[in-house]
Amino acid sequence: MMRVRVIHGPNLNLLGKRDPEVYGSHTLEQINAEIERLAGELDMEVQISQHNSEGEILDAIHACCDWAQCIVINPAAYTHYSIAICDAIKAVRLPAIEIHLSNIHAREEFRHRSVTAPVCVGQIAGFGVSSYLLGLYAARDIIAKRWR
């Protein structure tokens, strides 16, 4: 069974309450339920957590070494400046997929740059909750070495 670690970054605990016109009106609980539903379909085990602290995200990434085959991560605001998360992803040497609910390329200039994307396999941005689901499909293809 494939093992995928899903990490939600800062402020995502407010989802559903926060800028619904940008991020949709689903709560994090609803998103997690949907992730787990699709994971089941894809015969995939998932571990999911959300963290506001950059340090905790580092810890979560480090812990992947012992279990996960792939990381699906939405670094949220940290995307744009956390070189520490960039270094952590690079250090654990696991394939990672960067997820964004909103299309960061259509927002403020400072959100166009991702310091974490260069160490990920790829980036999926702009599809709301679907971004996470697409991330699971991508994780499956990466782990299964499909189309590589």
**Residue 52 beta carbon to a second copy: minimum distance, rounded to whole angstroms:** 4
**Residue 1 beta carbon to a second copy: minimum distance, rounded to whole angstroms:** 20
Of residues 85-144, those binding a second copy (CB under 8 A): 86-88, 90-93, 100, 103, 105-106, 110-115, 117-131, 133-134, 137-138, 141-142
Among 18, 37, 41, 49, contact with a second copy (rule: CB under 8 A): 18
Length of the chain: 148
DSSP string, 65-111: GGT-SEEEEE-GGGGGT-HHHHHHHHHHT--EEEEESS-GGGS-GGG
Of residues 31-90, those binding a second copy (CB under 8 A): 34, 51-56, 58-59, 62, 65, 76-78, 80-84, 86-88, 90
Among 24, 72, 73, 74, contact with a second copy (rule: CB under 8 A): 24
Active site residue 78: no
Distance CA 17, CA 32 (A): 16
Which helix or strand (DSSP H or E) is residue 8 part of? strand 2-8
Distance CA 39, CA 12 (A): 20
User: Can you tell me whether residue 50 is helix, strand or coil?
Assistant: strand
Cβ(72)–Cβ(5) under 8 Å? Answer: yes
Q: Which residues carry out catalysis?
A: 23, 100
Residues lying near a second copy in the complex (CB under 8 A) are found at 10-11, 13-14, 17-19, 24, 26, 34, 51-56, 58-59, 62, 65, 76-78, 80-84, 86-88, 90-93, 100, 103, 105-106, 110-115, 117-131, 133-134, 137-138, 141-142, 146-148
